[in-house]
Amino acid sequence: MSNTPIKRLNWGCGSWTPEGWINSDFKDDPGVNLVADISKGLPLESDSLDYAVSIHSLPEISYPDLVPTLAELRRVLKPGGVLRVSLPDLDIGLAAYQRGDKDYFLIPDDEVKSVSAKFIVQMLWYGYTKLLFTHDFIIEMLQKAGFAKVERCSHKVTRSPWAEITDLDNREAESLFVEATK
C-alpha cells in the first residue's frame, strides 16, 4: 500500500457519522458530509475510494433500484476496492421465529407481543424495510452489479486488506456480512 491516505465511504450512515469516513446519506443531518440520493449518482469521482461500507441501509432500497445502487457503489471504488455490507439476515430471523425465540427480537412487548408479530415488525423494521436479504440473494445481486469477487464474512472479520473496514460492524446477532471486490 502507498502512503496515500485511505479514502473510505460510510454509505447510508443516517445519524451515525464516525470521524475519518466520508459519511453519506440522503438526509442532511449533523456529521453527514456527503448528502446525496444514490439513485441520482454519488458526487464522487469514479475509481476514487479504497472501500465503502453499508450497515443496514440497503433494506430501504426497492428491488428495482438495488442493482443500480450496488453498481453506483462499485463505480466509486478503485479497482480492487471493496464494498462491505451488513444486512438484517432473513434466515436468522426465520430460525428465531420457527423456534419461538421471543427474546431474539428487538421489538418491545408494548409494541407487539406474539413471536410472529415481533418477526414481522422486525423484518419490516416498522415499515422502513422495502427488501429482505439472505446471503444468497445479496451475493447474486452484487454479482449482477459487476463485482468480480463476492464473499461471505463474519462480524468483525474481513477478507479485505483493510482490517479497519470492520470498524462500523454492529448488530452481530441479527446480521449477515458480505464483501464484494471491484
| 117, 123 contact by CB (below 8 A) | no
140, three cell numbers: 447474486
159, three cell numbers: 477478507
User: pLDDT at position 3, please?
Assistant: 64
d(CA 182, CA 173): 28
Please tell me the pTM assigned to this model. Answer: 0.94
3-class secondary structure per residue, the chain: CCCCCCCEEEECCCCCCCCCCEEEECCCCCCCCEECCHHHCCCCCCCCEEEEEEECCHHHCCHHHHHHHHHHHHHHEEEEEEEEEEEEEHHHHHHHHHCCCHHHCCCCCCCCCCHHHHHHHHHCHHHCCCCCECHHHHHHHHHHCCCCEEEEEECCECCCCCHHHHCCCCCHHHEEEEEEEC
d(CA 8, CA 48): 9
CB neighbour class for 58 (10 Å; exposed up to 12, middle 13-18, buried from 19) = buried
d(CA 180, CA 172): 19
| 23, 34 contact by CB (below 8 A) | yes
User: pLDDT at position 5, please?
Assistant: 83
25, three cell numbers: 446519506
Per-residue pLDDT of the chain (182 residues), as tens digits, is 456 789 999 999 999 999 999 999 999 999 999 999 999 999 999 999 999 999 999 999 999 999 999 999 999 999 999 999 999 999 999 999 999 999 999 999 999 999 999 999 999 999 999 999 999 999 999 999 999 999 999 999 999 999 999 999 999 999 999 999 99
d(CA 43, CA 76): 9
- Identify the structural domains of the chain with CATH numbers, from first to last: 8-88+133-181 (3.40.50.150), 90-129 (no CATH)
User: pLDDT at position 24, please?
Assistant: 97
User: pLDDT at position 1, please?
Assistant: 46
